[in-house]
């Protein structure tokens, strides 16, 4: 049941831009906000790590601040921006600690990482940090200046493709590094 719940939350999170786009075509933005709250609440409940729960909480608080300052429609479009910013803070701040975020995750599977692997995980953490800040910036620009269709295209497709390319590239590099 837990796996089904997690899958549902992932699908809702991925489909968020489509839900918002569809909703904005049919309703006032303020009527879509309860759905956003439900999605974020479900996402928070599905997470095991406190650090990831903090990202969702940060997103909720930030979205409400943006809604108050800039309005409902901009606030709805800022969900991807705030998630990227939250993950950027999570990953980048760990670069200033002895154990990077990716190293923590890697140690769950392999508690005794060799020194080379620790350096590698720190570099991967840096790469994801750069990705999140660039992706978040583009998401912000589409939320503020692009049409709803461009916002949907970037945040509902292109951003996920780029994330997949980075994850797949890292996985292929990791396989190559492990063999060497």
pLDDT digits (tens, 9 = 90+) for 143-152: 999 999 999 9
Handedness of CA 123, 125, 129, 131 (dihedral sign): positive
- What's the pLDDT at 144? 94
Q: What is the mean pLDDT of the chain?
A: 89
Query: Model pTM?
Result: 0.85
Residue 32 has φ and ψ, to the nearest 5°, of -90, -20
* pLDDT score of 180 more than 70: no
Which one has a higher pLDDT value, 70 or 141?
Answer: 141
Contact 94, 125 (CB under 8 A): yes
Give residue 1's pLDDT: 73
54, 46, 113, 110: which is closest to 85 by C-alpha? 54
67: confidence class by pLDDT, cuts 50, 70, 90: confident
């Amino acid at each position: 049941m837990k796996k089904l719940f997690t899958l549902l939350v992932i699908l809702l999170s991925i489909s968020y831009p489509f839900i918002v786009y569809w909703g904005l075509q049919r309703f006032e933005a303020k009527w879509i906000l309860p759905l956003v709250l439900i999605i974020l609440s479900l996402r928070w409940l599905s997470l095991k790590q406190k650090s990831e729960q903090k990202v969702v909480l940060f997103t909720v608080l930030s979205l409400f601040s943006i809604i108050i300052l800039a309005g409902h429609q901009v606030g709805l479009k800022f969900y991807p921006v705030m998630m990227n910013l939250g993950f950027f803070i999570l990953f980048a701040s760990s670069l200033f600690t002895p154990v990077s975020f990716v190293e923590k995750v890697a140690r769950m599977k392999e508690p005794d990482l060799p020194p080379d692997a620790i350096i590698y995980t720190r570099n991967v953490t840096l790469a994801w940090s750069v990705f999140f800040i660039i992706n978040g910036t583009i998401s912000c620009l589409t939320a503020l200046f692009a049409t709803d269709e461009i916002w949907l295209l970037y945040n509902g497709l292109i951003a996920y493709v780029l994330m997949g390319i980075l994850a797949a590239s890292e996985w292929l590099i990791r396989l190559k590094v492990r063999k060497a």
